[in-house]
Amino acid sequence: MAKAAPTEDNIIVGRESGRVFLVVVDDSEESAAVLRYACNRARHTGGKIALLYVIDMESSKDFQHWQFVGNLIEEEAQETAENALSRHAAQITKDSGSTPDQYVRNGNVQDELFALVKEHPEISILLLGSAPGEKPGPLVEAVIGKHAGQIGIPVTIVPGSLSAQEIDRLT
């Protein structure tokens, strides 16, 4: 029996590619675009998605003299992170057919991103959403600017202004 010619849809079906697409998420407009891109890429290549949500606790340090208020801010930030990851993970599972790995970190987003990539060599591609407008966002600026090449894995920047149809066409 002759085998069907490989197409983009069947070339890797049923086989894990080993690719792990890392997406740094929040509730920004560009997060929706990069997540759709990641889901499409993971589904088409048999890859997996990992999500990173970084809680910047600098604002709670202002309340150190009011420990109760600082603790409350930290608890709310943790709850916000968990809710966002849960919501994104449910959508990813629906769209890609695979449950993503989820990481919540506390600290500076750039530092935590670089540390996570270093700790998890299975992460093979970083996907970042670029904010619509003149400034792509501080993380994108850092990764493609003064820290370009230091992360040690390929980086894909997804314009946050792309429509769902444009993303589907590209992936």
In the chain the domains, ranked by start, together with CATH numbers, are 20-170 (3.40.50.620)
Report pLDDT digits (tens) over 117-133. 999 999 999 999 999 88
Token pair belonging to 33: 């675009």
Sheet of strand 101-106, all strands in order from the earlier edge strand to the far edge:
101-106, 48-55, 20-24, 125-130, 155-159
Q: Give me the count of residues in the chain.
A: 171
Q: What are the angstrom distances between the C-alpha of 80 and each of 25, 77, 85, 92, 153? A: 12, 5, 9, 18, 29
Report pLDDT digits (tens) over 56-115. 876 445 555 666 666 777 888 889 899 999 999 999 999 888 899 999 999 999 999 999
Q: State how far the Cα of 111 lies from the Cα of 69, in Å rounded to an integer.
A: 26
